Amino acid sequence: MEWLFELFHQVNYELPKFVQFLIVGLTLGSIYGLIAIGYTMVYGIIGMINFAHGDIYMIGAFQAMIVLLICGTLGISWVPLQLLLMLVVAVALTAAYGWSVERIAYRPLRGTQRLAPLISAIGMSIFLQNYVQLVQGPRPKPVEPVISGGVTVLTRADGFVAQLGYLQIVIVLLTVALMAGFTLLITRTSLGRAQRACEQDMKMASLLGVNVDRTISLTFVMGAGLAAVAGMMVTLYWGNNDFHMGFNAGIKAFTAAVLGGIGSLPGAMLGGVLIGLIEAFWSGYFTAEYKDVAAFSILVLVLIFRPTGLLGRPEVEKV
Amino acid sequence: MSAAMAAVSPAADTLLNVERLTMRFGGLIAINDVSFVAKRRQITGIIGPNGAGKTTLFNCITGFYKPTVGRLTLHGDAGHTYLLEQMDGFRIGQKARVARTFQNIRLFTGMSVLENLMVAQHNKLMLASGYTVLGLFGWPSFRRAERDARDKAVHWLEKTRLIGVADQPAGSLPYGDQRRLEIARAMCTDPIMLCLDEPAAGLNPRESADLNSLLLSIRDEFGIGLLLIEHDMSVVMGISDHIVVLDYGRKIAEGTPLDIRNDPAVIRAYLGEDGQE
């Protein structure tokens, strides 16, 4: 009986920390998940890893930051309006970037070797980074927090407080809403059907009168839009944007997409949340310095033991 | 000769005018100077031994290949003409309204039977949904278009007796059902010409007889032209109004089923030597 009491005490002591890591992990996971959807959708439809996607996310973060600064100059201080403006402008402009990248760097190479667009994507990634470094400067840009405060979830005797920030609530809710809308788009609308059809047999879809090029463009636009939302969230959450931020986040989100099963939308979201949680718990219980190692070890293990990912379908030979 | 005349003044019922079509792959001549006319409300059979160039002909018509030489004129509704050899693949389906099925069935196997038919009506729905934006908010015109599309799909499912499996993945259907679904899907694009590549392949005699009546009813009810590649002579001879015979990429004969049956060149090339298999 004594040990049970002891255990209960221990759990009670550890719980607030655990909850805090959980909250941070879910927030991070939402952001990774939103980026991962862009990878997974593009892979699904044209079988290519869009290595510039992380940088599209970076562009989104910068757009959001710029809108916020403009709001400051114009004296718009009502937070919901600020958020709405950030969302709309960042998504629209970043989607335009996504569209242009596809149009300039990938479409001309379609139907050539598989490797060509991949290399083009890496080039695009380098270009976007350098472009932002040139116009925005190489130093990290701090952003003032817009939403602060939160609710206390648990308090420990020694004063440690597990807090759920309002911003974290906004991030998770917005992600859930976007996911729901997105699932609706893919499963219910004609565009979603066309996307799934192109995914399975592009030539056949084209014979049925589906404009395949446009469908692919719209896929890039959607992916970029979601990445912009992720960028905006990160701007609000960490408020430290630099031109190189897309690289790490991009690779993490890619890991998430592979973990969930590349090509699968729920997989991307699940993978994102898992990577976020792994990172949060690893940083919390072991060391924050090696959190990237943890995430990438997962990538390696998944590629070795379950190449199709958690929710992925086994590769079907295309005839 | 007949093709040249058609080019000057196409008869009112001309649907597809193939003129001097040649398709070369490097040194191989898959189609060599083939001309013929396919008419509205007719089933034009295309036969020939394996490797005669029949599927290549379809690939030229539906934009998979750009012909090396020749012209493919489609006479659409309201006097519109389309030069198929100059059109992008998807516009041939969208604008010229040519639909096609494949020798090896190409359904969207992971999607449901009903969805396969809905994809075929994508263009209409995309327009009605204001390029998806309005559709997401349940705009009435989109809902109406979606309902119409569904009705049409259901109509074809009933006609092809697939209504009971509407929600199953297309890939799980038995072979004969998949063949019929492919035809239903092609018809959902509202074609004025339907190209069928060996629709009877792998069907048993009963299914094959079914197919005959389906194709005849498509011809009679919708007044469209059908191009039919087929090895099964009971199908070709039974339902074709006009037959074109290819051999080694050349047209060796053309005429009614009766003419073809008695044509010595055809018997030599096709029925006589390969008919035993």
The per-residue pLDDT for A236 is 92
Query: B249 and B228 in one domain?
Result: yes
Q: What are phi and psi of B189, to 5 degrees?
A: -85, 5
Query: B158 and B24 in one domain?
Result: no
| Cβ contacts of B110 on chain A, cutoff 8 Å | 196, 200
Q: Count of domains in chain B?
A: 2
Q: What are phi and psi of B37, to 5 degrees?
A: -125, 130
Query: B43 and B161 in one domain?
Result: no
Give the DSSP letter of residue A242.
Answer: -
Which residue of B61, B82, B84, B90 to mutate against A (max A Cβ within 10 Å)? B90
Of the three residues B189, B219, B248, the one that is the final residue of a domain is: B189
B199 Cα to chain A: minimum distance (Å): 16
Amino acid identity of B2?
S
The per-residue pLDDT for B275 is 45
Which residue of A178, A182, A207 to mutate against B (max B Cβ within 10 Å)? A207
Instruction: Tokens 């190189």: give the residue.
Output: A244
ipTM more than 0.85?
Answer: no
| B143 touching A (Cβ < 8 Å) | no
Is the confidence at residue A182, as pLDDT, over 60?
yes
| Cβ-defined contact of A191 to B132 (cutoff 8 Å) | yes
Q: What are phi and psi of A169, to 5 degrees?
A: -60, -45
| B152 touching A (Cβ < 8 Å) | no
| Cβ-defined contact of A208 to B189 (cutoff 8 Å) | yes
Q: Exposure of A77 by Cβ count < 10 A (0-12 exposed, 13-18 middle, 19+ buried)?
A: exposed
Q: Which long-range contacts (CB under 8 A, 24 or more apart) does A108-112 make?
A: A110/A46
Distance CA B82, CA B90 (A): 13
Which residue of B60, B103, B106, B122 to mutate against A (max A Cβ within 10 Å)? B122
Query: B154 and B21 in one domain?
Result: no
| Cβ contacts of A45 on chain B, cutoff 8 Å | none
| B144 touching A (Cβ < 8 Å) | no
Query: B169 and B39 in one domain?
Result: no
| Cβ-defined contact of B110 to A196 (cutoff 8 Å) | yes
The per-residue pLDDT for B6 is 43
- Which residue segment(s) compose the domain that B124 sits in? 106-189
Query: B144 and B28 in one domain?
Result: no
Distance CA A246, CA A136 (A): 15
Q: What are phi and psi of A240, to 5 degrees?
A: -145, 80
SS3 B202: coil
| Cβ-defined contact of B109 to A209 (cutoff 8 Å) | no
Closest CA to B136 of A176, A91, A196, A185: A185
Report chain A's mean pLDDT, rounded to a whole number.
90
| Cβ-defined contact of B90 to A319 (cutoff 8 Å) | no
- Residue B220's Cα: distance from chain center in Å? 16
| B26 touching A (Cβ < 8 Å) | no
- Highest mean predicted confidence (pLDDT) among A268-277, A293-302, B71-80: A268-277
CATH of the domain at B92: 3.40.50.300
Distance CA A275, CA A289 (A): 16
| B90 touching A (Cβ < 8 Å) | yes
CATH code of A29-154+162-299, in short, is 1.10.3470
SS3 B247: strand
| B103 touching A (Cβ < 8 Å) | no
The per-residue pLDDT for B138 is 60
Cα separation values, B96 from A206, A207, A208, B63, B86, Å: 13, 11, 11, 11, 12
Query: B210 and B158 in one domain?
Result: no
The per-residue pLDDT for A147 is 84
Query: B90 and B122 in one domain?
Result: no
Is the confidence at residue A318, as pLDDT, over 90?
no
Q: What are phi and psi of B101, to 5 degrees?
A: -120, 165
| Cβ contacts of B123 on chain A, cutoff 8 Å | 209-210
Of the three residues B189, B205, B220, the one that is the final residue of a domain is: B189
Domain ranges of chain A: 29-154+162-299
Q: What are phi and psi of B47, to 5 degrees?
A: -125, 170
The per-residue pLDDT for B3 is 44
Residues A93-116 have pLDDT tens digits of 999 999 999 999 999 998 888 889
Query: B139 and B12 in one domain?
Result: no
Distance CA B124, CA B117 (A): 13
Per-10-residue mean pLDDT for chain B, 277 residues long? 46 86 90 91 90 89 89 85 83 85 89 92 77 61 83 92 91 90 92 91 86 91 90 84 91 90 82 50
Is the confidence at residue A15, as pLDDT, over 90?
no
Is the confidence at residue A178, as pLDDT, over 60?
yes
| Cβ-defined contact of B89 to A319 (cutoff 8 Å) | no
| Cβ-defined contact of A189 to B129 (cutoff 8 Å) | yes
* B62, B121, B129 member nearest A207 (Cβ): B62
How many beta-carbon contacts under 8 Å exist across A and B? 87
| Cβ contacts of A184 on chain B, cutoff 8 Å | 136
Query: How many separate helices (H) and strands (E) can be counted in chain A?
Result: 11, 4
**Least-confidence region, from A153-157, A243-247, B16-20, B140-144:** B140-144
Instruction: Tokens 């004129």: give the residue.
Output: B73
- Chain A residues at the B interface, defined by Cβ less than 8 Å, are 181, 184-185, 189-191, 193-194, 196-197, 200-201, 203-212, 319
A41 Cα to chain B: minimum distance (Å): 16
Query: B14 and B148 in one domain?
Result: no
N-term to C-term CA, chain A: 65
Query: B222 and B178 in one domain?
Result: no
Of the three residues B189, B205, B228, the one that is the final residue of a domain is: B189
* Residue in A closest to B61 by C-alpha: A207
Distance CA B228, CA B221 (A): 17
Query: B92 and B8 in one domain?
Result: yes
Q: Determine the average pLDDT of the residues in A281-291.
A: 87
| Cβ-defined contact of B118 to A193 (cutoff 8 Å) | yes
User: A-contacting residues of B 215-274, CB under 8 Å?
Assistant: none
The per-residue pLDDT for B64 is 86
Q: Determine the average pLDDT of the residues in A124-151.
A: 90
- Residue B170's Cα: distance from chain center in Å? 20
Beta bridge partners, B44, equal B227, B242
